[in-house]
A and B are shown apart, each in its own frame.
Chain A
Amino acid sequence: MLSVLWIVIGVVVFSATIAAIGSDNLGEYVWYLWTTFVPSQAASNVKQLREIQREAITVSTERSNTSSQDEFAKWAKLNRKVDKLRGEIEKLNAAISTQRAFFKSQVRRLIWISTTGMKIFVRIKYRKAAVFWLPKGMFPYWVEWMLSFTSAPMGSVSVSAWFMITDYAIKGAVAFAISKTAEMAIAKRKVPVPAAKLSDKKTGPEKKVPRQEKKSQ
């Protein structure tokens, strides 16, 4: 039964991680990786777009370096090229943005399946299993009843209850980690302060810093 315990923890940790990153951000990252490293239609479009954009820049610089009055023929030819490239860029942009929207929606679906969907699946599959047994008589009857909710045997902890507990714990841990990191970041920023204090007290910004320190203490 230990395995159920760890499955639940795994699922919860995984969802918490994704929630911390943000599913939209994750979609962006995956899209970026997909278009950069995986050979696909979208990737070739993105590559093509970059090439055309580069070309358009060269051609339009060339055009602006050409006098339209003295070399009209050359200028007009460059102008035609610029217009053509612009049209292509627009078309590619449109194609890419549809592909990207589709891709991101697929990623979101996948995320849902691997987090919320997984939670539901685990709850249903192990609904009758006991994650672990409680020592007898440790809790009053009604607590035991609640912990075994919905259909785990009496005196054990059910998957649902275990999900709630781990979820609560991990969320707390994440919040704690975030606040700790923030604190550390602030602390890091404060490191140069004593040095500033020592060196010179006349300049404006350095005077402000110690005040902040006092407040936080």
Chain B
Amino acid sequence: MEEDELAPTLQNILDQQSLRWIFVGGKGGVGKTTTSCSLAVQLAQCRKNVLLISTDPAHNLSDAFGQQFGKEARKVEGIPNLSAMEIDPSGSIQEMIEQANAQSNGMSNIMQDLAFSIPGVDEAMSFAEVMKQVKSTDFDVIVFDTAPTGHTLRFLSFPTVLEKALAKVSELSGRFGPMLNGLLGGQAGAGAGAGGPDGDMFAKLETMRATINEVNTQFKDPDLTTFICVCIPEFLSLYETERMIQELSSYRIDVHCIVVNQLLYPAKSSTCAQCNARYKMQQKYVEQIGDLYEGDFHIVRLPQLTDEVRGIDKIKTFSRMLVEPYEPPNA
């Protein structure tokens, strides 16, 4: 099994200095947060400034580090060049709607509803927000701890989907805007004279599109962005991982690392029937993973520990296993 053509570590990620965006994703409960925290800790040792962002609505960075994080990037205690933040994908869109509602009129309301009902737009906006923030500060690399699979995929597919949708909306508004304006003339009042608020709205949409376009090009560049799939050796997790990898490659997002987490290595003398049975099953899937992805992917195998990986020290010890392949004790 150790005949991998590619090293079974994430060392390649640490060595790839050009990387700016690293996504960590997988099904819920497979250890994404642990993996992303560990990776961030490792990155902090070889980069100047690292940012860890959680986009999962069920934030657990705070739990993992035993420290409260918020919307603003905050330094992780004990690691001066690592910062972390938790963003709520639905939060920023809410703000934007509220802000827009304050100066609303008939036409811009309709267009807003249209624009905001596009799938993925909320994540897109939160992303744009993050990019803006990240641009202003100088982080060398940003690690994303993403939400479980379905969410993540929508998040990453938005550039293509959204660009089309936004193009349509702005085309529509260009065509029907004036007419609707005429109809709603009474409502819009004198202010709507020369495009006024509407023009504003469309300009906003346009800038939104431009930002998203930029995100798009950045994410499709394998020098800048990569995705790390985390899975556990179980059928559903593997199935989801395979689907995710296919989908990501259809969006042309680079994937070349798979982390297989929660591997059991019961002692040979162990009499625990469940452990032994599970070990056998896991080994079967590990073998399948090897068959399927070897040659194209770095496959990192991580063991199931007896305690939760919480607190900086434990994360630090755990993170060593990302760079030095784990050797089962009684192998």
Contact = CB atoms under 8 A, between A and B. Distances in A.
Contact of A73 (B235, B239, B246, B292): B292
B292 A76 contact: yes
A70 B291 CA distance: 13
A68 B291 contact: no
A207 interface: no
Interface stretch (A38-46, A77-85, A116-124): A77-85
B3 to A, nearest CB: 15
Interface in B205-243: 235, 238-239, 242
B235 A79 contact: no
Q: Is the interface of A mostly helix, strand, loop or mixed?
A: helix
Contacts of B292: 72-73, 76-77
A75 B238 CA distance: 12
A68 B290 CA distance: 15
Contacts of A203: none
Given A72-B285, A73-B291, A83 B246 contact: yes
Interface in A53-94: 68-74, 76-77, 79-80, 83
Q: Is the interface of B mostly helix, strand, loop or mixed?
A: helix
Contacts of A71: 288
B242 A69 contact: no
Contacts of B238: 72, 76
A83 B235 CA distance: 20
Contacts of A79: 242
B246 A72 contact: no
A29 B179 CA distance: 48
A71 B289 CA distance: 10
B81 to A, nearest CB: 40
Interface residues of B, number: 12
Contacts of A80: 246
A73 B239 CA distance: 10
Contacts of B285: 72
Contacts of A68: 235, 239
Contacts of A73: 288-292
Interface in B290-313: 290-292
Contacts of A76: 238, 242, 292
Nearest to A74: B291
A79 B240 CA distance: 13
Contacts of B289: 72-73
A40 to B, nearest CB: 32
B294 to A, nearest CB: 9
Contacts of B235: 68-69, 72
Nearest to A76: B242
A83 B250 CA distance: 11
A80 to B, nearest CB: 7
Most buried by B among A70, A71, A72: A72
A52 B124 CA distance: 38
A198 B316 CA distance: 99
B13 to A, nearest CB: 24
Contacts of B290: 73
Given A76-B242, A80-B246, 10 more contacts: A71-B288, A72-B238, A72-B288, A72-B289, A73-B288, A73-B289, A73-B291, A73-B292, A74-B291, A83-B246
Interface of B: 235, 238-239, 242, 246, 284-285, 288-292
8 contacts: A69-B235, A71-B288, A72-B285, A72-B288, A72-B289, A73-B290, A73-B291, A73-B292
